[in-house]
Amino acid sequence: MSASSSNPIGRSSVDSLAQLRGRIAAHESWAQTADRAARTAPARRALEDKFLTMADGDPVRAEHYKKAHYTRLALRSAQARRQAREAIATAQQVEADPAELGGEPA
């Protein structure tokens, strides 16, 4: 039995509700945080330590690992934006002429 048949609102709806609750909690938590930099300092320090460990303690190599990491994130972001643009273009094309892609006219 699938999750959606055992749950009348469906699994994705439950996941969406959980995500919304999580976002609400995160916003409330950040609203109560007076010093954002202090709150995130341990995570920033851990990431810097990770790059330094990868570089066997060499700060110059660690900086290159860091730059590679952020460049990789930028690449993934650009790929996601391109895919989103292509999906929008396809949806607009289907709306304009559904018969062209084998669909029924509206």
Buried b (16+ CB within 10 A) or exposed e, 8-36: eeeeeeeeeeeeeeeeeeeeeeeeeeeee
Q: Each residue of 64-90: pLDDT tens digit? A: 999 999 999 999 999 999 999 999 999
- Calculate mean pLDDT across residues 54-60: 98
The secondary structure of the chain in percent helix, strand, coil, rounded to multiples of 5, reads 80, 0, 20
Q: What is the pTM of this model?
A: 0.64
Calculated CA dihedral for residues 9, 14, 20, 23, nearest 10 degrees: 180
Domain ranges in the chain?
A: 1-32, 40-106
Helix, strand, or coil (residue 20): helix
